[in-house]
Amino acid sequence: MFIHNKRLMYTVRVARPDPDLATLMLEQFGGPQGELAAAMRYFTQALGDNDPGRKDMLYDIATEELSHLEIIGSIIAMLNSGPKAVLSEGMEEAMEMRTLTQNSTSHTQQILYGGGPALVNSSGVPWNAGYVDTIGEPLADLRSNIAAEARAKIVYERLINVTDDPGIKDALTFLMTREVAHQKSFEKALYSIEDNFPPGKLPGDPRFTDTYFDMSQGEGNAQGPWNSGPQWEVVADREQQSAVDGGDGQPAVKLSATQKAAMAALVERTASRPDVDPVTGADLGAGPGAGTTTPVEK
């Protein structure tokens, strides 16, 4: 059940309309790192989680994210309020309106959405459920949540840096700070699970859990605790990086007699002829700059 309070979670004061800034703010309204994506991510996790403590936390944070969505949406609406009134009431010429919004997609906001916040990102791409990466395994979802809050914090930092409006900076700082708080909650929830690594139930194959394959070699090779030390067995030899299971490294599938016959017919029908140099359309139409082509008999 939801009960709405008409007071915002945080007081917002906007110094002046700025449709270009409103366009950027859409990133946290309908973008992949935005508040709606976060709310839906945590709601879906809460619905499927059987642990009462985590379920309660996820519902709390999901509901708070909706309050954050309301703050961002209010900022967008206020930043668009001046141009919205001008366009709606026909108080200025079209050229003046285009000049006002020439460096952004805010004209799209005005014409299609009437200046209100749309469920799109700053490039006008519609919000979609692909932003919600819930997989239904707490050890994976909590790690994803921590990363999502970190990404959202970075976006808020960048938005803070592109405005000089003190009221907007203040509100964005609050939202950014809440991302930090949520990361802490998710970290505590993750590490309150005794066996929290690796995610899932099945153990890794012990032949490979401590192996580091040095696949990118050459100038710039570096060592650190992520690829060296007593924890790791480093495999740098190129020959040892293939067929690591001890097999021949070749793919194989068992087919029935009927399937084998059909496959043989397919291979024969689609076989290439390496002994033939066919004349192609590129050869027939070759002109200056075509490079070397197969001679065409005239």
Binding residues for Mn(2+): 35, 65, 68, 149, 182
Who contacts 146 (Cβ-Cβ below 8 Å, separation ≥6)?
183, 186, 187, 190
Who contacts 208 (Cβ-Cβ below 8 Å, separation ≥6)?
244
Token couple for 209: 């859990």
CA distance 67 to 63: 7
Torsion of CA 231, 233, 234, 240, to 10 degrees: -160
Sign of CA dihedral 177, 124, 46, 143: negative
Residues within the annotated binding site for Ca(2+)?
56, 60, 216, 218
Residue 207: which of 183, 233, 181 has the closest Cα?
A: 233
Residue 39 neighbours by CB distance under 10 Å: 20
Single-letter residue type at 178: R
Rg, Å, the chain Cα set: 29
Residue 19: which of 100, 117, 112, 114 has the closest Cα?
A: 100
